[in-house]
Chain A
């Protein structure tokens, strides 16, 4: 019998079990692979390091970062990719790289850098789940980290000005969404009839973008036009998360 698996992660809202992409990826994977996870939503009283969330704790292990957590779950025999061929496994890695390089910067920007969004939605939401006085400091730190990441990875010459970097990352994100939509087509999941790691990643990154109500919504508007991706997110929410959405 596997030791009890506990996942500490950011909570939900707007119909989602979590608003944090990485936490959502792990939660979705656990549902797909049948891993019995006890989910501990972080609130003001939680004492751990919020920078590392999501964190999986078992009797003798503490694992952070979605890729490592998923690897750990697979080693415990909770494998959602069992039926995939070698080529499909390779495709999974490639599409995850695509999402991390092309979509993630714009998602980070929408949540943490775009000032209207950050000050009216993101910051209050996260600050209310962090104890004082950390609530005054941590959101700002995460926001600076996000901007830093965007500028260091995408803000190279000739894109000197933040405006130009922003324009480029949103262009890339829209293209990435189009590519994902083309790849999904009319299938229910990315590889056949059962969901796998790639579905968990796509769901984790798309669902918050789809559901959270922001003032500045250019990427969200683009996503809403790709009806198969919206249907994909709604299907997963309805099939795998409906029962646990009591305290969103």
Chain B
């Protein structure tokens, strides 16, 4: 089924029709939709988790920044669910595609920059020069700060893509190794399987952490600009 290592990352097809959009929309079906105040355990846990993350992330913002709560909460939920679902075998992870991550990162980053430029122009431009730089270095430092500002969306997208892709690739490689060793040396297979188990635990952590990091950085950019 997976002839080479690139197949998990190619566009998924169902009967030769591209199925990317249903796959991207799938995690929305797994999120809580109840209207009752008291739900079953799953719904309660999900609701509690959402509240926890919301409180932890949005209390540092002022009123203007908190208008972004819905956006950031849906962002972190989407990235976390997508990454976790991608760990299942034979699944496709949309966040391994740079196109999608860029599509998420660039508008969000641009939004924060525009908010900063529109409402706090002086403050925003002042951030381009760190405090206490000696005078001859100022032109160079402004250029450097501008470059580091412009590289933020690219960094966000590439960070997420690279981490998830690398993790998936590593799991495939070690799985292949275990498969190849299962015909020759069984004890090595067990060792490799243990490695795979540890790696899976790491991948679960990475999936969640990447989602968090992405959202946190966007929130940080927002905080600087509101």
Q: Do A and B come from one complex?
A: no
Q: B residues within 8 Å of A by Cβ?
A: none
